[in-house]
Amino acid sequence: MFDQTNAKLLQQIKFLKAQDVVFWFVGLFVLAGAFIILFALIYDMGQTGIPRINQEFFLNFPSRFAGRAGILAAWVGSLCVVLVTALLAIPLGVATGVYLEEYAPKGWFSRMIELNILNLAGVPSIIYGIMALSLFVYEFGLKQSILTAGMTLGLLILPIIIVTTREAIRTIPNHIREASYALGATKWQTVRSHIVPYSFGGIMTGVVIALSRAIGETAPLLTVGAVAFIAFLPTPPVMAVAPYVSAQWLMDPYTVMPIQMFNWISRPQEEFHVNAAAAGIVLLSMTLVLNALAIFIRYRFRKKYKW
Amino acid sequence: MKYKLRRQLTEKFIELILFLAAASSVLITFFIVYTLVTEAFPFFKEVGLKDFIFETEWTPLFENPKYGIAALVSGTLLTTTIALFVALPFGIITSVFLSEYATDKVREIFKPLLELLAAVPTVVYGYFAMTLITPWLQKIFPDLSGFNALSAGLVMGIMIVPYVSSLSEDAMRAVPQQLREGSLALGASKFQTSFRVVIPSAFSGIASAFVLAISRALGETMVVAIAAGLEPKFGFNPLGPTETLTAYIVQVSQGDLPQGSMGYRTIYVCGIVLLLFTLTFNIIGQTIRHRMEKQVK
């Protein structure tokens, strides 16, 4: 009788132990699966696209002939648009994050802003696109310009920057603030010379991730009217004659990397799909490099400050 | 004295600037709601609410236009459901593995790599669905059409796995260690502890992760626009082409739409419907999360 239950128990223990091992492998397998997918994606795209990548591909404008088409307008456009996005979203986002963490009185107002930001983060990107179409393109009369695109993406990534700024600031222990106040510093002096520098790593990580998202974003720019067939560059910001600097490039039409890629995918001809793969590789490298940079920054700063 | 006054003024001035920055986020919400409502409002003067809801055809740009939103809504729900069938089991498995089974070192390596999956631009995922997954699926389902809901949904699912797993992992790691120890002390295995103690205690966090993932899948645009075809069809056939609310907006706004035309109005109508869906799920998700945070405290 006792032996029987004992054997049963032993069997059950064996089963549970086996179950644990099996699950460990299942978990590892699923995670590995994720990377196999990522790898398959890069491999497949690379195989199709990499032979297409050469100097001319970066220096040519789009063309009716797949073999002669390039991404010059697209990558220059992407850089210009991201520059506008960064100039809008970084100051606004960091300022909002600092206000909410350091200044805002705890009450219904800050709770409302908080809820509002959470909801904004959940609004699909395409909604920002149609909002910008009505507001920036028609209401403000900015047309299909780099400025419109940059502002649209700026609003889109604003919640990401705000949230990461707040998280970074929240990790700073209170005694740092108290030490600063005790020496007679004002709130702004504390923020400027302690809070922001100490949370700089976290903020930068968020900023870089947000910008990498902006570079890859397609849908909102399609709705505000990015054109895929652009055979000229934006006006250079510096000129040889007076007044030497010009903001005309802000109002120029543009195309960006993901739009160029989408345009090539949408064409029925196979040769253009090769171009799409090549553009995809370039785009993917841009975002992966930015993400690696973010991971690197996070790692560096985590080592630097230990509270 | 003068110095002190100037100092106070600077302080106030800076606080005001920071306050304005924070308040501008409210302005964005206002503009979103305002533009959607004002641009879509005239649409409902021409199309009755009854036709809008109960009609099953969506052909706004045809000679004899029909405005049955159900066609686009069914496409949206279809691709979202398929995506969830991938994202939920895989998300749960990875989060249990990362939070309960993996050592710190394994987690350090895998977590950032998993986040890379979320960093891949959606247009690249669209290319992936169309050129790699669809031909592969066609070997299994010979009558799968070149553009279909299935491959778009599957790829969308892969895309949102990182969202599900990172949020649910956070929830699981917030479960107090004593609960685990209690369970293990009673002789439960790690597997039993994970699934009968940790998951139920972290339930609200995991649920909110799911709900937020649903809202993400509903709003996803480029994958469906590229791989699911652009045919609005009422029905839930995963093997055929379909069109979602988001894909419709992209499709129509690519052409030149004069402001104020009926086609232009329809994208805002779709925008409102989409926003209502995602907002509902977001609010549910946040409510669950908020309640969880209170509970943990």
Q: Which residues of B touch A106 (CB under 8 A)?
A: none
pLDDT for the residue B96? 92
Q: Which residues contact B189 (CB under 8 A, 6 or more apart)?
A: A16, A17, A19, A20
pLDDT for the residue A105? 85
For residue A252, name the pLDDT band (cuts at 50, 70, 90): confident
Do residues B232 and B243 touch, judged by C-beta distance below 8 A? yes
DSSP 3-state assignment of B144?
coil
- Percentage of residues of chain B with pLDDT beyond 70: 98
Contact between chains at A38 and B117 (C-beta distance less than 8 A): yes
Residues of chain B where predicted confidence (pLDDT) is lower than 70: 1, 295-297
Q: Which residues contact A15 (CB under 8 A, 6 or more apart)?
A: none
- Does residue A235 have a pLDDT over 80? no
pLDDT for the residue B296? 61
Cα distance between residue B283 and residue B293, in whole Å: 15
- Does residue A185 have a pLDDT over 60? yes
Contact between chains at B19 and A131 (C-beta distance less than 8 A): no
* Per-residue pLDDT tens over the stretch B165-196: 988 998 898 889 999 999 999 988 889 999 99
Burial classification of residue B200, based on how many CB atoms lie within 10 Å of its CB (0-12 exposed, 13-18 middle, 19 or more buried): exposed
Q: Which residue has the tokens 């924070």?
A: B22
Q: Which residues of B touch A96 (CB under 8 A)?
A: 18, 21-22, 24-25
Instruction: Give the residue from B159, B163, B105, B79 showing the smallest Cα distance to A34.
Output: B159
- Does residue A269 have a pLDDT over 90? no
Cα distance between residue B56 and residue B74, in whole Å: 10
Structure tokens at B148: 């279909």
For residue A2, name the pLDDT band (cuts at 50, 70, 90): low
Q: Which residue has the tokens 């609200």?
A: B204
Contact between chains at A27 and B15 (C-beta distance less than 8 A): no
A266-288 mean pLDDT: 89
Mean pLDDT of chain A: 86
- Percentage of residues of chain A with pLDDT beyond 70: 95
pLDDT for the residue A307? 63
Q: What are phi and psi of A245, to 5 degrees?
A: -115, 150
Which amino acid is present at B117? L
**Which of B21, B117, B226 lies at the smallest CB-CB distance from A265?**
B226
Cα distance between residue A215 and residue A153, in whole Å: 9
Do residues A298 and B156 touch, judged by C-beta distance below 8 A? no
A152-174 mean pLDDT: 92
Concatenated DSSP letters for A110-163? HHHHHHHHHHHHHS-HHHHHHHHIIIIIIIS---S-HHHHHHHHHHHHHHHHHH
Cα distance between residue A31 and residue A28, in whole Å: 5
Residues of A numbered 247-276 whose beta carbons fall under 8 angstroms of chain B's beta carbons: which are they?
258, 261-262, 265-266, 273, 276
| Virtual torsion, Cα A249, A254, A258, A261, nearest 10 deg | -140
DSSP 3-state assignment of A53?
coil
Q: Which residue has the tokens 């641009």?
A: B39
0.85 surpassed by complex ipTM: yes
Q: Which residues of B touch A133 (CB under 8 A)?
A: 253
Do residues A164 and A205 touch, judged by C-beta distance below 8 A? yes
Q: What pTM was computed for the model?
A: 0.89
A249-278 mean pLDDT: 87
Structure tokens at A189: 């002096």
Beta bridge partners of B58: B67
Structure tokens at B112: 């950032």
In this structure, of A80-89, A104-113, A159-168, A244-253, the range with the lowest mean pLDDT score is: A244-253
**Which of A27, A124, A262 lies at the smallest CB-CB distance from B97?**
A27
Structure tokens at A54: 């050469």
* Per-residue pLDDT tens over the stretch B67-115: 888 889 999 999 999 999 999 999 999 999 999 988 888 888 888 888 8
pLDDT for the residue B56? 78
Instruction: Please give the interface size between A and B, counted as residue pairs whose CB atoms are below 8 Å apart.
Output: 249
pLDDT for the residue B277? 92
In this structure, of A77-81, A153-157, A300-304, B171-175, the range with the lowest mean pLDDT score is: A300-304
Structure tokens at A198: 């100490």
Cα distance between residue B82 and residue B157, in whole Å: 7
